[in-house]
Amino acid sequence: MDINVLYNEWLEKATADPDLTAELRSIEGKEEEILDRFYRSLEFGTAGLRGVIGAGTNRMNIYTVCRATQGLADFLNKHFENPSCVIGYDSRIKSDYFSKEAAKTLAANGVKVYLYDELEPTPCISYAIRKFKTSSGIILTASHNPAKYNGYKCYDFNGYQMTDEEAAETYEFIQQVDYFTGIKTMDFDAAIASGMIEFIGEETIEAFLDEVQKQCINPEACAAANLKVIYTPLNGTGNKPVRKILERIGIKQVFVVPEQENPDGNFPTCPYPNPEIKQAFEYALKMCDEVKPDILLATDPDCDRVGIAVPDHNGEYVLMSGNEVGAMLLNYLLSQKKAKGILSNTAVAVKSFVSTDLAEEIAKKYNCDFKNLLTGFKYIGELITKLEAQGRADDFVMGFEESYGYLAGTHARDKDAVVGSMLICEMAAFYKNEGKMLVDVMEELYKEFGYYCNTVKSYEFEGAAGMEKMAGIMESLRQNPPKAFAGMDVIYVGDYKTSVAKDLISGAESKIELPKSNVLAYKMAGGNGVIIRPSGTEPKIKAYITAIGESREAAAALAEKLVADAGKVME
């Protein structure tokens, strides 16, 4: 359809939200502005929807949200006799509004809705799906994206995000829905009165925290260590649950960053509320001179990721990477379970395949089975579900992704910064009682297993031209694969889209036994490697770098060379 015809249709019919009308009028005659809003419809995939809040088919608004929800309702009514769905939301702009509108659409389609009555972390939605045995789940969130974004994540009845097949079928239903005439809805109060929408009460949150607390291994260590914690929820959902769980396990000295304590989708003090970057800790670091904390915690707006900063021996506070925290947590859980005689002989740990291989080496030390899965926590959720079906739920030790996502326990099927925050603080308390800081613990692991420098470099490609550029880069890499990185010959190429791995030394090919994904992996000698993957939620291509050296400096220098060569293939 002609872009201007679409624009005029929206100008005439998109009247449910006055903000949309005002925005559409403000861009009249501005061809590039109109094009960016209408050149495509937001695609629904395994990560649901994500986009800039605003008017148009390429934006997050009441029409794109409810169109997706109508398609989901059609999918659920096809596959379930009495379908039901949990809905939650975070602190982002319009998240609460979108959640209620989605609830009204589901209810109008005969889908029973369990709606959280205030903002809650993403893992609470995953937990509630299984608690209420619903057919699906939705959370309105854009995770750690800037304030102008919102998103719509969709879960299946197992409590993890939809699989590729489910998402594809749902998207087929969505594409059949007209934005203005194809969406059913009903009065919110009438839906509550009829029982089609039911609010989720505080007892469910307390039950969730009970399950999280069960993952605590050394609760006595927390009270003994007198740990001091500075915590920032980054104006998101973590404030209440994280503080509650830390108090439950005996950590009394928690100092919350006041400017970032309460929910605010504008994120006024942190435009990019991502615990992976130093800016997220800027206000927390200002409190260090007065508080002198043992650890700083930051959870992202939907509280499924957690980052930390810790003191070093020079009195400076350093950020620890998601890979480092994942490796330390795994080592802590395995060593303590073994010491207490509760480590299963068939224990399993798991990570995304772009995360540090150091974790796999740690697992070997404790005879723990280790799995590498595609990026996306749903794959870890699937593994937990399979273990549970085999009566092996207790075998699951933990799963993690380098992007600061961790899960211990089987209460959720998504990454959980509530349990992550609890275990990180417990670990810090345990080692504090032994006279160690977390920087000491990490250094010991490096000395034992080698210095791993894992780096992620993102390359942004905005707009319609950017999407074409990204596709062209991936196609070019497949047609003309790089022969070397940092002066090291590539000895292995894995194409996860074709499921073919090739050993370039022997010439032998093998099948990659994972779901197909648009990812290319290159390995060099000594465990060094580069993995290139377009983001599933942002207009970016990411390069995941692994550099291993005999010293921190050697690994860092090699990583720098690998990053430089990875950048060249993005040109």
Catalytic center residues = 143
Q: What DSSP letter does each residue of 82-102 carry, written as one string?
A: S-EEEEEE-SSTTHHHHHHHH
Contact (CB, 8 A) for 177 and 57: no
Look at residues 270, 67, 51, 41 and name the one whose alpha carbon lies nearest to residue 142. 51
Look at residues 248, 109, 82 and name the one whose alpha carbon lies nearest to residue 183. 109
| Strands (DSSP E) found in 378-425 | 396-401, 405-407
Look at residues 331, 327, 380, 330 and name the one whose alpha carbon lies nearest to residue 358. 327
| Strands (DSSP E) found in 178-280 | 197-200, 228-232, 253-256
Phi and psi torsions of 408, nearest 5°: -120, 145
Six token digits for residue 217: 């291994």
For residue 495, what are the CA distances in angstroms to 245, 372, 539?
Answer: 42, 15, 21
Six token digits for residue 85: 């769905």
C-alpha span between 188 and 95 (Å, rounded)? 16
Q: Count Cβ atoms within 10 A of the Cβ of residue 287 and give its class: 0-12 exposed, 13-18 middle, 19 or more buried.
A: middle
Q: How many CB atoms sit inside 10 A of residue 502's CB?
A: 17
Look at residues 255, 248, 256, 138 and name the one whose alpha carbon lies nearest to residue 197. 138
Phi and psi torsions of 156, nearest 5°: -100, -175
In DSSP terms, 320 is beta-bridged to 308
C-alpha span between 103 and 84 (Å, rounded)? 11
CA 244 to chain centre: 22
